[in-house]
Structure 1
Amino acid sequence: MKSLKNWRTRQALLAYALLSPAIAYFALYFFYPIVMELWASFYRGQPLIGQAHFVGFDNYLEALGDPRVRAAFIRTIIFSVATTVLTLVPALGLAAILSGPIKARDAIRAIIFFPYIISFVIVALMWKSILDPYSGILNSVLTYLHLPTQNWLSTPSAALRTMIGIVVWKDIGYAMLIYIAGIQGIPQHLYEAASLDGATRFQMFTKITVPLLVPTTLFLAVISTIAHLQDITSPMLLTGGGPADATRLYSLHVYETAFTQLNIGYASALSFLMLIAIMIITYLQFRLLNKEVVY
């Protein structure tokens, strides 16, 4: 009995020794910054780099009452939900098609996935050139077809929709490949049995494929929503938050509050409010989509 206890102790010590680099990494680069930012959120000014004074929850109350913060938050929710839905729904359809025996399947997959591996800096420069209202290729094509041209990124009513479209174009290939992997994990005998019962391809897709891909959809929905709620590269590189704040997402507002206005305490409070929102949204996604799947 004593030898068994000693063996378990040695196993535990070995496990902790192997995990210690990862624990130290997360403690130093993840948990410590969170604690410091939480501390900074109760100060006004520059608590991490300069002078500051304690204000308690005043930063949080000011943020909740700031109409510009509310507008940026609502705009970010719209951006995140629209981008996630418009990415996952077509990606599922593409995955269903490209999982079948069609010609040049691998080449088509590679072409659709390719934008995902490109740096967003390159993507932004490319699309800004394509969408330029005076010299862009897209407006040139519209002119050739005798259709009205558009100011894609410089009109408040069109800028956010255009930015969503660009992000969807970039991300859809990744979601498609994840869905393809999920479809390949579904037992083939389920489709064979449904085929023998006279089910059509559409019925098999809606009654077998979609329900059994709920865990995959949950994974993609959660990571996509979190990523887009924190997205700063899209508005910063494509529009700078304009025109007229039409694409000013929450993260860009936080960034400018911290590093342009140098109000680090207030920016820290804004960051924690978004953290709380992300936790609530993720919890709701798990409640809605976290369903056990049995093959």
Structure 2
Amino acid sequence: MRLRFFQKHGVRQAVFAYAVLSPAIVYFLVYFFYPIAVELWASFFRGQPLIGEAQFAGFDNYIQALTDERVRDAFFRTMIFAISGTICTLVPALCLAAILSGPIKAATAIRAIIFFPYIISFVIVALMWKSILDPYTGMLNAALAYFGLPMQNWLSTPATALPTIIGVTVWKDIGYAMLIYIAAIQTIPSDLYEAADVDGATARQKFWRITVPLLTPTTLFLAVISMIAHLQDLSAPYLLTGGGPAEATRLYALHVYETAFVELNIGYASALSFLMLIVILIVTALQFRFLNRETSY
């Protein structure tokens, strides 16, 4: 009798749980898994399989993608952009978090100022930085001229265009990573720092021996979401340079976008997108493999 009661009670709990989760399940099925399935199906056709005429191509789109020099170049640039952007965001964000989590005057105001660019639309950010980086009327070149330094064509020179885009992206994203790090630092027990003070540890030793190791889960989280975002980034190259000059900032997502909506080769673009999904899964798995460390207090 008692077993029957628990069985009925467990069934009711399961039904209630699935009823509560059903909106989220439906959302992911419709807006996440279904588009992936459609993209995979479209990748086996050439032409416009979703909106017009198409011919079955089998694995031809994937073979073309793996042998296309422009795709390889775009992928190589994207990896540089993603890795550099992630490192240049997380390292300064961690340093800022360590400083601003301490007893500093106006720390809240400084945090707000650093975080503010993150909540601004990238369209506004792009317009602002294009004005600042203008080779003739921009504030940055005016400052360089004031100090007697040579002016630069920041967005129109192949050597400086990609680093400039990385810098703008880091400037926008660093505030978010900083706040996440600050929140994580505040969860570290103060007893550990007090014990380190008793042992005569310096601030640098406490940072490297206590703060950094215990922030490993936070670093893993930020590294994963940052790499995923950068590998799929379209707005930065599209709004700042349009992929130029001389395709120096033609990142993978921009190449896929133009293949699909400019060249109208949707089948090939679908294959490119699915290949990037595979790359993202591999990169994420590697990050979990090398950064996922168990931490204990």
Could you tell me which of 100, 103, 106 is aligned with 1:101? 103
- How much has 1:3 moved relative to structure 2? 2.0
Task: Please say if 1:49 is aligned against 2:51.
Answer: yes
SS at match of 1:44: strand
Percent identity at matched positions? 73
Aligned twin of 2:161? 159
Aligned twin of 1:291? 293
Task: Please say if 1:282 is aligned against 2:284.
Answer: yes
Aligned twin of 1:131? 133
Aligned twin of 2:195? 193
Task: Please say if 1:70 is aligned against 2:66.
Answer: no
Aligned twin of 1:272? 274
* CA distance in 1: counterparts of 2:4 and 2:143, whole angstroms: 81
AA matched with 1:208:
I
SS at match of 2:103: coil
Aligned twin of 2:152? 150
1:164-202 CA-partner distances (Å, limit 9, x unpaired)? 000001111111100001110100000100110111000
Aligned twin of 2:17? 15
- Tell me how large the CA RMSD over aligned residues is: 0.6
Task: Please say if 1:215 is aligned against 2:220.
Answer: no
Unmatched segments (≥5 aa) in structure 2: none
Deviates more, 1:23-32 or 1:86-95: 23-32
Aligned twin of 2:181? 179
* CA distance in 2: counterparts of 1:48 and 1:105, whole angstroms: 52
SS at match of 2:46: strand
* CA distance in 1: counterparts of 2:185 and 2:17, whole angstroms: 36
Aligned twin of 1:224? 226
AA matched with 2:174:
I
1:196-241 CA-partner distances (Å, limit 9, x unpaired)? 0111000000000000000000000000000000000000000000
- How much has 1:104 moved relative to structure 2? 0.8
- How much has 1:23 moved relative to structure 2? 1.1
Moved over 4 A (4+): none
* CA distance in 2: counterparts of 1:95 and 1:108, whole angstroms: 11
SS at match of 1:103: coil
* CA distance in 2: counterparts of 1:21 and 1:93, whole angstroms: 40
AA matched with 1:102:
I
* CA distance in 1: counterparts of 2:283 and 2:259, whole angstroms: 24
1:256-292 CA-partner distances (Å, limit 9, x unpaired)? 0000000000000000110010000000000001011
* CA distance in 2: counterparts of 1:194 and 1:3, whole angstroms: 54
SS at match of 1:135: coil
* CA distance in 1: counterparts of 2:97 and 2:31, whole angstroms: 37
* CA distance in 2: counterparts of 1:197 and 1:27, whole angstroms: 55
1:48-67 CA-partner distances (Å, limit 9, x unpaired)? 11111111111000000000
- How much has 1:147 moved relative to structure 2? 1.2
* CA distance in 1: counterparts of 2:223 and 2:201, whole angstroms: 29
* CA distance in 2: counterparts of 1:7 and 1:136, whole angstroms: 69
* CA distance in 1: counterparts of 2:118 and 2:185, whole angstroms: 21
State the number of aligned residues. Answer: 295
AA matched with 1:23:
I
AA matched with 1:70:
R
Could you tell me which of 257, 260, 263 is aligned with 1:261? 263
Unmatched segments (≥5 aa) in structure 1: none
